[in-house]
Amino acid sequence: MTTRKELTEALRERYCSGTFSDRIKILDEFVALTGYHRKHAIRLLRSAATATTAAHERNRVYDEAVLLALTALWEAGDRVCGKRLKALIPMLVDAMERHGHLALDPIIKDKILKVSAATIDRLLAATRLHIDGQRKRRKGIGAAIRRSIPVRTFADWRDPVPGFFEIDMVEHCGGPKTDGDFVHSLVLTDIASGWTECLAMRMRNQDLVIEGFKKAACDLSFPMLGVDSDNDSAFMNQGVFDYCKEHGLEQTRSRPYKKNDQAWVEQKNGSIVRRLVGYGRLSGAEATLALAKLYASSRLYVNFFQPSFKLKSKTRDGARVHKVYFAPATPCERLIAHASVSAVIKKNLAAQFLELDPVRLLQQIRDAQRVLSEISAHGVPAAVSSPVPDVAAFLSSLSSAWKDGEARPTHRKQPTAKHWWKTRVDPFADAWPAIEGWLIAEPAISANEMMNRLAAMIPDLYARKAQLRTMQRRVKAWRAMRATELVMGGLLGHPVPPVEV
């Protein structure tokens, strides 16, 4: 565009002062160079010359101050996406101001509250740019128990009231399963609100599953009405069946090898458990206690300050699936807005929300993740840990935490040992004394000649002479070592036997 303007300014005076034939030639060349329509080109060349002015710079609505405040809120929200952060900002700003963690200028606060989700993603794009499976299903037992429990698919949920949970277990084995028992996470997700409870289990055991149900029922603000699980033997057994029947819980199960039947809890396995704990190996009592401490803080942070999406409708047109979601909301907000939840429960949830400090909860989560990272990497927590910063220091670090990369200690890469050992068998391990004798007796002998001698002596191993390149490298290294010994020995005054290299 700048080149076209310069060309127009250069030709305008010639076009206006030229004859009719000259103007036709100038106009033809101008149209051919710029691609303008002929009438538009005539209007440009006939217009009066305008003084060149500096390019007008667009006024920035969201300046650096807004970006800093938005970055701090994004970190306090555990780096959620723009759409979820948009729904979280009003309550997060209110909570942080109520606890004295935030004091925004009225103009900045007004812009923060009005910013759109797309603008949030655009403003945080540079910040995010700076930052850098499948489980085998155990074969169940107790076919009679499974037959007595009805199957419920994803489409059968319709719109249940709060209290119906999908349950699943996540094994923290760190990849390949070797020996020993590994810590498990029992995950319960409410279908109506998305409320998620995570419990640490020392091992996969049906008695621990029942204890987890009891603890979740005590922690929940609303009653449990039913549980839906997969066909794991830890769920499909007489103990769990009797517990559900005794406490009036409706027990259902998914179809075998159909993970979409439990899409709600499978989503939380990745967005909550793996996001908080990572994929490291955890085993033993210390790891179980550390994981339980992490879940004690994260359950409040996730359910009160982490907006999530909920599917509203799904339509299929051939191979194309169109999904529509409700506006992002926290599980607490969905419970308060649900018509079937009693006024007492809503009042208790609102009072509990006012007492919670999201920054303090996030700090407790980071401290627990630091302990889990040490256990996963070294088997035991660090003997001497660095002093835990107070809330004010932790809050001040949120605006610049992105510069250090990954904020969650459970997701940082652990240093690995340098690979120094050999993984292949030395083909000349037995024959090297003879080879070294040939090199000392005949310094000018070639590797090819020695390979021929070995093939004649031991045809079973060296008849094909496939080790010739290895022989050449070994001989070259041996001669280099002897040359170094000759030079360094002479410099240090040590007698060195005369060896021709």
The phi and psi torsions of 77 (rounded to 5 degrees) equal: -90, 10
Q: Which of 164, 207, 219, 208 is nearest to 186 (CA)?
A: 208
For residue 212, what are its two tokens? Answer: 């987890």
Tell me how far apart the alpha carbons of residues 205 and 234 are, in angstroms, rounded to a whole number: 6
pLDDT tens digits for range 286-332: 999 999 999 999 999 999 999 999 988 889 888 899 999 999 999 99
pLDDT at 340 over 90: yes
For residue 92, what are its two tokens? Answer: 């997060």
Question: Taking the CA atoms of the chain, what radius of gyration do you get in angstroms?
Answer: 36
For residue 118, what are its two tokens? Answer: 């797309």
Beta strands 164-171 and 226-229 are parallel
Q: How confident is the model at residue 388 (pLDDT cuts 50, 70, 90)?
A: low
Q: How confident is the model at residue 181 (pLDDT cuts 50, 70, 90)?
A: confident
- For 179, counting Cβ atoms within 10 Å of its Cβ (0-12 exposed, 13-18 middle, 19+ buried), the class is exposed
Taking all residues of the chain, what is their mean pLDDT, rounded to a whole number? 87
pLDDT for the residue numbered 51: 39
Tell me how far apart the alpha carbons of residues 426 and 341 are, in angstroms, rounded to a whole number: 73
pLDDT at 265 over 70: yes
Tell me how far apart the alpha carbons of residues 90 and 104 are, in angstroms, rounded to a whole number: 13
pLDDT at 50 over 70: no
Q: Which of 78-87, 188-197, 412-421, 433-442 is predicted least confidently?
A: 412-421
Q: How confident is the model at residue 443 (pLDDT cuts 50, 70, 90)?
A: confident
CATH superfamily of 143-411: Ribonuclease H-like superfamily/Ribonuclease H (3.30.420.10)
* Cα–Cα distances in angstroms (integers) from residue 490 to residues 345, 401, 443, 485, 495, in the given order: 90, 57, 20, 8, 7
pLDDT for the residue numbered 52: 41
pTM of the predicted model as reported, rounded to 2 decimal places? 0.68
pLDDT for the residue numbered 324: 94
Q: What is the 3-state secondary structure (H, E, C) of 399-439?
A: CCHHHHCCCCHHHCCCCCCCCCCCCCCCCCCCCHHHHHHHH
pLDDT at 228 over 90: yes
pLDDT for the residue numbered 418: 75
Tell me how far apart the alpha carbons of residues 10 and 103 are, in angstroms, rounded to a whole number: 56
CA angle, residues 79, 83, 84, in degrees to nearest 5:
55
pLDDT for the residue numbered 380: 75
User: What 3-state DSSP class applies to 332?
Assistant: helix
Q: How confident is the model at residue 452 (pLDDT cuts 50, 70, 90)?
A: very high
